[in-house]
Amino acid sequence: METLEPPAAKRLGRPLSFDRDKALRAALLQFWQTGYETTSVAELTHAMGITAPSLYTAFGDKQSLFLECLEKYANPGPKTTPELIAEARSAREAAQQLLELSARWFTQKDAPAGCLVASAASSGSVHAQRVRTALKKIRDANRKALQRRAERDIREGHLPGTANAHALASMTMAIVQGMSTLARDGVGQKALLDLARTAMRAWPTDQSS
């Protein structure tokens, strides 16, 4: 069974002559800006400040490099998004934090607009199957985590029994992806935050408060 994890860097021969973490960050920003399939190896090596042989030695190939960038992007802190969702005080709070954080993350000044996961999702060739699978895995994990949190709130009486946990989670994640597209089109942070707050009106209020 093919793993979704990027292979370990090849470190045969002489030590790397460049800062691997810095080069990885540069590659992440390049993929974030131009997507996966439309980014060439030449663009990557230029952004990373290394040669093509150095890229292959340190990261394997373009696909392996992207998967490592994706792992770094999806897990920037000590806890994953699904873990943070599970630890939120409520599903509603988790959804609100996810939407508002996305609005700010997609419009930060020191990074490309939008979301790397969303911008790379258009990878459609047969050669990008592992990339598409990895992207879907991240999206599914976040959606399922929010759905489980909503189901828990329904069981515990925080959300009404008529609430549709699957629909609420799917709607929230669809809004996140839509905000990424809007950010790429130049929509500003304030407008995205307004959209996030409007989307939260679809969530039932806490029944236990």
Give pLDDT tens digits for 116-128: 998 887 666 667 8
What is the band of 17 on the pLDDT scale with cuts at 50, 70, 90? confident
pLDDT score at 69: 97
pTM of structure: 0.87
Complete domains list, the chain, with CATH = 20-61 (1.10.10.60), 75-201 (1.10.357.10)
What is the band of 15 on the pLDDT scale with cuts at 50, 70, 90? low
What integer is the mean pLDDT of 188-195?
A: 98
Which range, of 121-130, 157-166, 179-188, averages the lowest pLDDT? 121-130
pLDDT score at 10: 46
CB 6 within 8 A of CB 60: yes
What is the band of 179 on the pLDDT scale with cuts at 50, 70, 90? very high
pLDDT score at 31: 96
Q: Which of the pair, 209 or 24, is modelled with greater confidence?
A: 24
| SS3 per residue for the chain | CCCCCCCCCCCCCCCCCCCHHHHHHHHHHHHHHHCCCCCCHHHHHHHHCCCHHHHHHHHCCHHHHHHHHHHHHHCCCCCCHHHHHHHCCCHHHHHHHHHHHHHHHCCCCCCCCCCHHHHCCCCCCHHHHHHHHHHHHHHHHHHHHHHHHHHHHHHCCCCCCCCCHHHHHHHHHHHHHHHHHHHHCCCCHHHHHHHHHHHHHHCCCCCCC
pLDDT score at 122: 67
What integer is the mean pLDDT of 181-194?
A: 98
CB 58 within 8 A of CB 23: yes
Question: Does 200 have pLDDT greater than 50?
Answer: yes
What is the band of 77 on the pLDDT scale with cuts at 50, 70, 90? confident
